[in-house]
Structure 1
Amino acid sequence: MITPFFTISQDDEFIFIDVKVSHIRFNAQSIEMVVQDELFIFALPPYYLRLRLPFRCVDDERSHAAYDSKSECVKIKIGKETKGQFFPDLDLTTKLLARLNESEGKEKDAKNGGAGPLIQELDIDNNNIAASNSAVISEGEKFDWEVSQTQAERLSNLVEVAPDFKYGFNNTFSEIIGVSVSNGNDINELGDPEHTLSADRINERLIKENIKFDPEYYAADYIMAKYPSPDDDKNFKQLIDWKSPSTKKFMKWYKAQQELSQDARESIMNVEFSKEEQEKLLDLPRKSYLIEDPAIQKQLLLLLISLLFAYHFDMRETEGDHNIESAWTVGKLTPQISFLDAQLDNSEGNVLKAGVITSIRRALSYPLHRNYTLVQRCWDDVYYNLRGGKRLIIKSLLDVRELFRFHDVYYVYNKIWIDDLCSWVISDAVGEGLIRQLAHDLKKEYSSLSKADITFEKLNEDKMEEGEDREGHEQEQGRSQNDDDDDDEIVALNLEELELMAEQSFEEYQNA
């Protein structure tokens, strides 16, 4: 059966459903429609549509269906049980599609003598939807980003536990990235992605970020941005001054709201999906997610932030016009994609701060333009994207999904991360209150960071040369080298120090 393209709208009394069908297959006598409480079913072979609406509807004399040959749509009108009741999220078509295999599950239960499944999904009480939204907002306000500290339990019997090498959304995937690596996946940076533990992914990522960061490259871009000249091959001012479309949408809406009275203001930005975006929503997985572990929830929110940052960095670097390198850029700047690292570095004690610092480190190590001011502008874009609400986020995620969907190798990241992330954000598990609080928490973290907080560990070449000379001399004298000398070969550099050295070098060059 084919799920047809459809759109839904409403007024105070009716729900309007437009179902797109081919005129070749249209046969009025073959149409079957069922309205049963919240459930709506449309069947016209080979089309089949089954929706679960937020509230009850009734099939009475007011209901009507007609075929419009111009638009090739079956236009359906059904009445609301309660006149004037507002049905939320009718534009999130994926959310309305009924869960898969529901009837099959009931048949299996009947055959098994009424034995129910180990885990059973319960329908939401739509009458309490307002209360549930309040709970979500309250949850967002109380969200804690501090690293949880739990004491390890002592096992009475030492048992060797097989390591868990799974990755992706909710750690449910394996044996996928390895195949893509063999096909030329150059986004992946793990040496053995299928057999690397979570903690080892963090260490490998930190080491390779330190190796990849080029102090001279960063210093050159810093001088080029601060002291531009006509001969420069990079125009940082143009990129920094560029305005993101999502940012402009939010700022336009926000300014319009400020001109209204307090009672007339809207709490959620009105965002409409285009027909192409609605079709993309229908392609998303139709799943329900049972994620109760707070640590996993934080990881998914960090994935959302990291992915939005990488997306807006590419948008700013290409000035809103994606190119053939956009998928590579987004993948490289997202640690959950390039290193399958969902945990990130928790040494800061705050996982959100760790996520922000990780994204900054990668943005200053991989792309063509490496500038801290440019990075800050990208964080502003992420903040306004979050402030725009769930639908504005979904529009960005759908755009990211398209970058990977058409690639011969990178499409695997849609399967293990992005498809499920889109469906999870659409679901009731992520409320507008949580997103709003996430935006404020993010703003607080990246605004409070200083350039001294962004550090890289590099080899101290001067110490290495001295060590080589001393080693040769000590070998001649028959003495061993002190083990502590290895610590002197690593030096920690922060952006503040690098920019100061760049200024001094530039001044010397100007005075020469």
Structure 2
Amino acid sequence: MLTPNFELKQTDRHVILEIKAPLANIARTELVADDFNVFFSSPPYYLRLKLPGQVRESLTESGTYDVDGGIFTFRLEKVIEGQDFEDLDLIGKFLFAHKKYQARPKIEVLDDVLPSSNSESEDEDEEQFWIAQQTVPAESPLTTPGYGFANKITGNGEALREEFYEIIELMDLEGTPVAERRLRREREELARFSDDHYLADFMEPSEINAIIEFKAPWEELLDNKLECKLTQDETEYLKDLGNRDYLLDAQAAKSALLSLADIVFAYAYNFRTFTGENTVESAWTINKLSATLSWFQTFETAVEVKVACMRRSLIYPLYRHYALSMKVLEDTVKILKLGRRQILKCLIDVHKLFNASEPRYLLNQLYITDYCIWLQKVSDHKIESLVKRLEEAPLTKVDVRLDLEELERAALMVLEEELEAVNAMLSNVSLKDDTSSELASSSGTSDEDSSSDSDETSGSTVDSDDT
């Protein structure tokens, strides 16, 4: 059976369901609206939805079918007239969920729950959410370290590393506890850091300054106070990804949000440095810059995220400049400020890039697909709290732990010494020129005096002859 493309709209009294089904068997078409559930069948199409509010079939209106467009239109009555059904443009979240994913520790799955029960409560205390379990719990020697979205996957680590060595930098996936991944990653980063490359970009920033000044679309949206909207293609893309239920405890949800910021940073760096145009290097850049995607890193604080993003952006890509990386951090916050739809636009772009990059389709299976589905269900309040944490997290060059200030200071001292040497050389040249001018002037005066004396002598001789 095929899942058709569809669209949800609403009025105060109705939910309008439009289904595009050009190959439908109209004689065998059936629609059932029962409470929160909607079932549509018209071979070869089948659609099952779970709406955020209760609906029922209208007693006064029937469905219509546009033969030319191949579109069914159904008007379903709201049980509670005037109720606002939120996020109807995020259609993926309303599809029937075939699987339930949950992070450890195990929690009981309840089948008979309202659709909203999987979303985080707006009233949950923000501070408690972010400060809960600031340290990673010790892993049992019998527990295999997890990876993927919310660390929900275990096992097959060795085979995974052998087959996808190009994109996974963590060598011993199953033998490296989650808490040690950061330490190994930072040792590898330190070994890869190039003083010469960093200083070259630091001393000659003209090209980088143009990249920093580039106006990204999210900046224009914020400056003009415009709302971000998904295109029809993006909406259909979310539909094709399907739906799943995620039952995450507070710690897993927090880690997922922090890793989301890490992935968005990598996307924003690629977008800015290539001025909005993807290249053959884009998939590599996003994969490499994200510690989540390349090291299966999980984060505990916003500071950890910012430090990891800054370090990797100063070590691996073409442009390695502190001011540029700070600008990309600003981009990351702005993308998150615009909310789930802008973030989804970025993730959909990443998903397409990875699908077109032969080994990196795996990262879609492990992370990006789940993020696209889960993000549709995350409350705006949680995204706003993530933005607040990132804005408040302090960051200096010292925090990056790459001795950037010492390198810059040494480079500027060398430059100053070179300038002094050049000035001294120019000064010597000037002195020599002045001396030469004086000598030339003195020589000219002597010649004039000699010429004058000669003239006088000649004149006297003439006078004498005349006499």
Letter in 2 for 1:124: L
Counterpart position of 2:414: 505
Aligned with 1:386: secondary structure? helix
Q: Within 2, Cα distance between the matches of 1:407 and 1:380?
A: 28
Q: What pairs up with 1:148-227 in 2 under 5 angstroms?
A: 148=134, 161-174=141-154, 178-179=158-159, 181-183=161-163, 185-225=165-205
Aligned with 2:246: secondary structure? coil
In the alignment, which of 419, 427, 431 is matched to residue 379 of structure 2?
Answer: 431
Aligned-pair CA distance for 1:16: 1.3
In the alignment, which of 269, 273, 291 is matched to residue 335 of structure 1?
Answer: 291
Q: Within 2, Cα distance between the matches of 1:434 and 1:324?
A: 34
Q: Is the 8 A contact 2:132 2:251 kept in 1?
A: no
Letter in 1 for 2:260: L
- Indicate yes or no: 2:136 matched with 1:136: no
In the alignment, which of 228, 232, 248 is matched to residue 291 of structure 1?
Answer: 248
Q: Within 1, Cα distance between the matches of 2:141 and 2:281?
A: 41
Deviations 1:198-248 (A, max 9, x none): 2332222111100111122111111111xx4xxxxxx11110001211222
In the alignment, which of 431, 441, 446 is matched to residue 389 of structure 2?
Answer: 441
Letter in 1 for 2:337: R
Letter in 2 for 1:353: V
Deviations 1:278-326 (A, max 9, x none): 121013242111111x332221111101001010000001111111111
Q: Within 1, Cα distance between the matches of 2:332 and 2:51?
A: 32
Deviations 1:312-357 (A, max 9, x none): 00000111111111111111111111111224xx7xxxx2111111
- Indicate yes or no: 2:43 matched with 1:45: yes
Letter in 1 for 2:330: D
Q: Is the 8 A contact 1:285 1:419 kept in 2?
A: no
Letter in 2 for 1:99: A
- Indicate yes or no: 2:3 matched with 1:13: no
Q: Is the 8 A contact 1:139 1:434 kept in 2?
A: no
Aligned with 1:411: secondary structure? helix
Aligned-pair CA distance for 1:38: 1.6
Counterpart position of 1:278: 235
Q: Is the 8 A contact 1:35 1:57 kept in 2?
A: yes
In the alignment, which of 53, 57, 68 is matched to residue 59 of structure 1?
Answer: 57
Aligned with 1:42: secondary structure? strand
Q: Within 2, Cα distance between the matches of 1:173 and 1:125?
A: 25
Identify if the C-alpha distance between structure 1 residues 195 and 371 changes in structure 2 by more than 3 Å, giving closer, same or farther: same
Counterpart position of 2:3: 3
Q: Within 1, Cα distance between the matches of 2:115 and 2:161?
A: 46
Q: Within 1, Cα distance between the matches of 2:132 and 2:223?
A: 31
Q: Within 2, Cα distance between the matches of 1:406 and 1:341?
A: 24
Deviations 1:153-206 (A, max 9, x none): 9xxxxxx83251331112222456655654464232222334433233222211
Aligned-pair CA distance for 1:151: 9.5
> TM-score, normalised on structure 2?
0.82
> TM-score, normalised on structure 1?
0.75
> Highest Rg: 1 or 2?
2
Aligned-pair CA distance for 1:40: 1.0
Counterpart position of 1:85: 83
Deviations 1:452-485 (A, max 9, x none): 22213xxxxxxxxxxxxxxxxxxxxxxxxxxxxx
Counterpart position of 2:220: 248
In structure 1, stretches of 5+ residues that fail to align are 103-116, 154-159, 229-234, 255-269, 457-492
Q: Is the 8 A contact 2:17 2:74 kept in 1?
A: yes
Counterpart position of 1:300: 256
- Indicate yes or no: 2:363 matched with 1:454: no
Q: Within 2, Cα distance between the matches of 1:161 and 1:238?
A: 51
Q: Is the 8 A contact 1:167 1:173 kept in 2?
A: yes
Counterpart position of 2:433: none
Counterpart position of 2:441: none
In the alignment, which of 392, 402, 405 is matched to residue 355 of structure 2?
Answer: 405
Aligned with 1:273: secondary structure? coil
Aligned with 2:38: secondary structure? strand
Q: Within 2, Cα distance between the matches of 1:118 and 1:436?
A: 29
Aligned-pair CA distance for 1:71: 2.5
Q: Within 2, Cα distance between the matches of 1:5 and 1:382?
A: 31
- Indicate yes or no: 2:107 matched with 1:124: no
Identify if the C-alpha distance between structure 1 residues 146 and 497 changes in structure 2 by more than 3 Å, giving closer, same or farther: farther
Q: Within 1, Cα distance between the matches of 2:30 and 2:259?
A: 43
- Equivalent pairs counted in the alignment come to 415
Counterpart position of 2:95: 97
Deviations 1:36-74 (A, max 9, x none): 122111100110001111111221333321122332211
Q: Is the 8 A contact 1:5 1:279 kept in 2?
A: yes
Aligned with 2:357: secondary structure? coil
Identify if the C-alpha distance between structure 1 residues 166 and 151 changes in structure 2 by more than 3 Å, giving closer, same or farther: closer
Deviations 1:129-159 (A, max 9, x none): 9xx88x4255346543476359989xxxxxx
Task: Provide the aligned C-alpha RMSD in A.
Answer: 2.7
Q: Within 1, Cα distance between the matches of 2:98 and 2:360?
A: 27
Letter in 1 for 2:391: K
Identify if the C-alpha distance between structure 1 residues 315 and 81 changes in structure 2 by more than 3 Å, giving closer, same or farther: same
Aligned with 1:94: secondary structure? helix
Aligned-pair CA distance for 1:361: 0.5
Q: Is the 8 A contact 2:268 2:331 kept in 1?
A: yes
Percent identical pairs in the alignment equals 30
- Indicate yes or no: 2:393 matched with 1:393: no
Deviations 1:417-467 (A, max 9, x none): 11112222112xx2111211211221122xx322222213xxxxxxxxxxx
Identify if the C-alpha distance between structure 1 residues 152 and 239 changes in structure 2 by more than 3 Å, giving closer, same or farther: closer
Aligned-pair CA distance for 1:120: 2.3
Q: Is the 8 A contact 1:169 1:416 kept in 2?
A: yes
